[in-house]
Amino acid sequence: MIRSVFALILFTGLAGYAAADTKIGFVDTERVLREAVPAVRAAKKLEKEFEARRNELQRVSAQGKALQNAIDKGGISEAERRNKERDLIKLNQDFQRMQREYNEDLNARRNEELAGLQERANAVIRQIAEAERYDVILQDAVYRNPKLDITDKIIRQLADK
């Protein structure tokens, strides 16, 4: 019985000692992918790359609104109203298709850019972990103590590259 109590005290003491030597860090990956210089550069690149298509969507949307206003205003023959309604339906279908393709293409490109940035961020995290002798660096947590957060270090390191 005394041995069990002694073993329990010894084990508890060793576990506490081991925990005291453990160095843990946390990285807010979403923040890195949003605020790091390469992330901002990638967002601007995507915005520029998709600007013409976004403008085309806005133009088609404005055209549809103008057509709807012409129908709503009235003062046109029944045959002309039917033709405009048919044109509006076709325009709306074209707009929805264009918007779906735009969103799919934009998401695919964004995922490509983020995958490359995620690889670079992981490499920086590994470098910092090895250089500063971290035992564990977490990237997802329900709660974290702010003193464990090394996100700013990661963002600065990515800016230097």
| Domains of the chain, residue spans | 21-160
132 pLDDT above the threshold of 50:
yes
Mean pLDDT over each residue of the chain, to the nearest integer: 87
For residue 19, what pLDDT is reported? Answer: 55
In the prediction, which pLDDT does 20 show?
63
Please state the CATH superfamily assignment of the domain spanning residues 21-160 in this structure: Skp domain (3.30.910.20)
For 101, 153, 156, the CA distances from 56, given in Å and listed in that order, are: 12, 41, 38
pLDDT greater than 70 at residue 6: no
Q: What percent of the chain has pLDDT over 90?
A: 72
- Side-chain half-sphere exposure of 6, counting CA atoms within 13 A: 3
60-75 pLDDT, tens digit per residue, is 999 999 999 988 887 8
